[in-house]
Amino acid sequence: MEHIPAWVKKRAACANEQSETVHSILKELSVNTVCESAVCPNIYECFRKGYASFMILGNRCTRNCRFCGVSHDTPLPTDKKDTENVAVAVKQLGMRYAVITSPTRDDLPDGGAKQFADVTEKIRSISPQTKIELLIPDFRGNTADLQTVFDSRPDVISHNIETVHSLYPSVRPSSSYETSMEVLKIIKENGFVTKSGFMLGLGEKKHEVLSLLRELKEAGCGYLVIGQYLKPSKNALPVKEFMREEGFKEYEAAGKKMGFKNVFAGTFFRSSYMAEQLIQGVTQ
């Protein structure tokens, strides 16, 4: 078993009225969250604040990324009420800013693009004051599927690069670094606030991280989240390094110097964690 340093251990907060409300609403509406499905270390903190990050299209992924806690079982048929239930949850929780993501669904003709558009439209119809961030898969770079998402006009579109180029064969064997970079370029070219994120601790070198920062900036990415990779299951890749806070701050400073509008970097930062604070006051 790998030794986890003290600074990487996050104390679980006790339940409060807000977290009980979140659990109750999620259960009643049968809504999936990435908080639960991806074994997020911030789940107790966020639920206590009445916040959750939603996952449409089920909780089973068609790819086999070796860093992820989401199940890789055969996906179930999509639930037609899924997007409506997410919108109702956003409304009932009074969320000012909502992040919606999904597992990758290569089994669907459009990769699930229509459901992303539907959830955006449904949230807008019942909670028009809520800012919407869509954290999308790559849709295999299909521009028609991306356009389906664009047409729903979310406030922010995020797509995670996840790791440096050299580690893709071992970390994301079913995905393409080049495709993900191209998706980010297309998002920006279509006028959207563009965001990405990646992990440290998988064996990347410093020069590779700095190169990745430059490539993301050149692709048009404006906002960035950098977090520590934490092994979510026994079958996931081992952690190669636990980055100290000063290392994260060095990359955060480098990103800001390169011209990113904002960068959050630290052990427990994740794409949807403090998403509203990262993009404070952004409208599209």
The domains of the chain, with CATH numbers, are 6-278 (3.20.20.70)
**Which pLDDT value is given to residue 2?**
65
Best mean pLDDT range from 130-134, 273-277, 279-283: 130-134
Residue 138's nearest CA partner among 178, 168, 109 is 178
What confidence score (pLDDT) does residue 193 get?
97
Percentage of the chain beyond pLDDT 70 is 95
Indicate the average pLDDT of the chain: 90
Q: Per-residue pLDDT for 284 more than 60?
A: no
In the structure, what pLDDT confidence band is assigned to residue 281 with cuts at 50, 70 and 90?
A: very low
Which carries the bigger pLDDT value, residue 131 or residue 72?
131
Confidence of residue 233 (pLDDT cuts 50, 70, 90): confident
149 pLDDT higher than 70 = yes
Listed range (65-79, 89-103, 121-135, 224-238) with the worst mean pLDDT: 65-79
- Nearest in space to 136 (alpha carbons), one of 101, 97, 105, 106: 101
Report, as an integer, the average pLDDT of 94-123.
Answer: 96
Residue 230's nearest CA partner among 7, 64, 40, 32 is 40
Q: Is the confidence at residue 13, as pLDDT, over 70?
A: no
What is the C-alpha separation between 247 and 213, in angstroms, rounded? 14
Of the given ranges (30-34, 107-111, 222-226), which has the lowest mean pLDDT? 30-34
**pLDDT digits over 28-87, tens only?**
998 988 777 767 777 777 888 888 899 999 888 888 887 776 777 788 888 889 999 999
Residue-level pLDDT at 283? 36
For the segment 227-251, the average pLDDT, to the nearest whole number, is 91
Confidence of residue 216 (pLDDT cuts 50, 70, 90): very high
Alpha-carbon distances, residue 232 vs 36, 119, 183, 220 (angstroms) = 11, 28, 27, 31
Mean pLDDT along residues 2-21: 76
- Cβ atoms of 111 and 136 within 8 Å: the answer is no
The burial class, CB within 10 Å (0-12 / 13-18 / 19+), for 185 is: middle
Mean pLDDT, residues 134-145 = 97
When pLDDT is cut at 50, 70 and 90, the band that residue 260 belongs to is very high
At residue 170 the predicted structure's pLDDT band, cuts being 50, 70 and 90, is very high
pLDDT 10s digits, 177-187: 999 999 999 99
